[in-house]
A and B are shown apart, each in its own frame.
Chain A
Amino acid sequence: MKSRNQLLLFIILIVLALLFMFPVIWVVLSSFKDKTDLYQWPPSVLPSHFTLENFATAFNKGNFGIYFMNSIFVTVTSTVLLLLFNSMAGFALAKYKFKGDNLILVGFISTLMIPLEVIMIPIFKVISTLGLFNSLWGLIIPPAATPTGVFLIRQYLLSIPDELLEAARMDGAGEWKIYWKIIVPMAKPVLSVLAIFSFMWRWDDFLWPLIVITDPKKYTIQLALSNFIGEYNVDWGSLLAMSVVTMVPVLAVFLVFQRYFVQGMVTSGMKG
């Protein structure tokens, strides 16, 4: 009986997955189509013949090797900083009561509402004043303080029993030790989640690089991709090809980190 239910569930999942994947599969297949196939009517799913010409054209258009390196540097560094800063802040907001804690929380959340475009010019002025113009650090530092991350971690940490922390304090542990040795390990699932998100956000960042970077040698992947979109013409072949290529690292990161969701969590203290 149970295995029949399992099987049913499995089948439903497969169907859902196929429906979900259908547009994505189309994108991937289309990147292998030549120009005639791309614009065909009736629309086609499979390429009439697989070709790598889109990938070749796209790679030849610019220094994609450099753009990849830049994107990786920015993404990894920013993610590490973000995990550190956000978890510290989330911990403070979840497990301490201090003056201004609600103000900070609401402040963080409210600013999620500010459309970046409206404050773009002042942001540029700030970046310029700090000497971060045209520097990759200008892409790394500002987004490392994302409110979403703090909020995410705070909510997660709320479930950790205060008694655990009190016990540690009784035993003489300092606050930093509590953070580093208790909180961080326990927060592995949410930190994995945040790592995945941060990787995705920084990898797909467009507006920041557009504002901050002027030297083509410092372009990130997304900035380079946008150049396939002209005023009247869109180089669909190259755009599709490069989009597929840029999806790979983020997907890889996801596959690696999603295992950590499984890793054990807080038990109510009865088990070891």
Chain B
Amino acid sequence: MEGTVKAGRKPSSEMTTGKWKRAVAPYLFVLPNLLIFTVFIVVPAIFGLLYSFAKYDGLNPMKFIGLRNYTKVFTTPDFWSAFGKSVEYVVISVPLIYVCSLAIALILSRELAGKGFFRSVFYWPTLISYIIVGLTWKWIFSDSFGIMNYLLGLAGIEPVQWLTDPFHAKMTIIVATVWSRLGFYMVIFIAGLQAIPQDYYEAATLDGASKARSFWSITLPLLKPTSVLVVMLSVIEAFKAYPLMKALTGGGPGKETTYVVQYIYQIGFDKQDLGLASAMSVVLLVIIAGLSVIQLKLTKGGGAS
């Protein structure tokens, strides 16, 4: 391990300066990030908040209308129906992604021939732009012209309405999501798994613990920070999901796979009502922030136990 620390102790005056330095240090460390973040995200977000109190189409001057947008948000069933669909999507896809990416990460963080190759294979889909992902999956799952139905037809099975039937469309989207995001979370898990000291496992094996036991008592608990990260990120990502659905089903059939962020975009840009879209974003943000806070509290700050 790197050892560049000096030997010897410091006199007490330097210790107090040291303490002061230590108190200031975190602020200095956070500063560059915080600065950029404030200028380029917080300031515009405050503007966004202002828009939520106005009627604004992005071009012509704003007209302040107080809380009217917010009342509209709470009385628009379409918004909540889109939100409900998002919740359904989150509840199904997040655990699926968690389990699958953890499983693959476990397999690929041991000694295994061709590890690098396999990792690249599972990571590759994350590199593909959503337009191409949509095109590819449509080629496979298109009702009339997709290869799935063609193969099913050869086997004498009735074609399935993969993209035009609401249930199947939702299923196809979840499969496409897991396919394109697995690699991302697999990589995060692999890094997290590497952080667990090997000696713990060795000690456990010496004590006669089975592989499964090691997993539940060592791996999972020590993986907690990573798990929290993966869950939070994938929940947020799932709520924000939009380009993939747009490319795959266009939000259809009709509105069946129009989730909440796509709905907000439609309000803001197709219907030119940026004020209402901002208000909806604020409501969504409050809900998600609330969820994140709860998650952090439940996991006690997300640290390892």
Contact = CB atoms under 8 A, between A and B. Distances in A.
Instruction: Consider the complex of A and B and state whether they touch directly, i.e. have CB atoms less than 8 Å apart.
Output: yes
Nearest to B153: A42
Interface string A234-272: 001001100100010011001100110110011110111
A126 B44 contact: yes
B122 A193 contact: no
B124 A159 contact: no
A96 B25 contact: yes
Interface stretch (A49-57, A60-68, A69-77, A164-172): A164-172
B125 interface: yes
Nearest to A150: B33
Interface string B1-34: 1101111111000000010011101110110111
B77 interface: no
B130 to A, nearest CB: 9
Interface in B51-71: 51, 58
Interface stretch (B89-97, B165-173, B189-197, B249-257): B189-197
Contacts of A181: 2, 4
Contacts of B29: 88-89, 91-92, 96, 175, 179
Contact of A251 (B2, B37, B124, B228): B124
A251 B127 contact: yes
B121 interface: yes
Contact of B129 (A24, A101, A112, A222): A222
Contacts, number: 286
Given A118-B281, A156-B225, A189 B132 contact: no
Contacts of B284: 113
B302 A115 contact: no
B285 interface: yes
Contacts of B216: none
B239 interface: yes
A261 B190 contact: yes
B194 A142 contact: no
B81 interface: no
A175 B22 contact: yes
Contacts of B296: 105-106
Interface string B119-143: 1111111111101110111011000
A81 B202 CA distance: 39
A222 to B, nearest CB: 7
Interface string A14-56: 0001001101101100000000000001110000000000000
- Listed from nearest, the 8 A-B pairs whose CB atoms lie closest are A122-B47, A122-B44, A145-B36, A96-B26, A92-B29, A175-B25, A89-B33, A155-B225
Interface of B: 1-2, 4-10, 18, 21-23, 25-27, 29-30, 32-37, 39-45, 47-48, 51, 58, 107, 109, 112-113, 116, 118-129, 131-133, 135-137, 139-140, 145-147, 150, 179, 184, 187-188, 190-192, 194-200, 222, 225-226, 228-229, 232-233, 236, 239-240, 242, 261, 264-265, 268-269, 274, 277-278, 281, 284-285, 288-289, 292-293, 296, 302-304
18 contacts: A43-B145, A105-B296, A111-B41, A111-B45, A113-B236, A115-B242, A115-B264, A118-B274, A145-B37, A155-B225, A155-B229, A156-B226, A172-B10, A185-B2, A190-B191, A247-B127, A255-B120, A258-B120
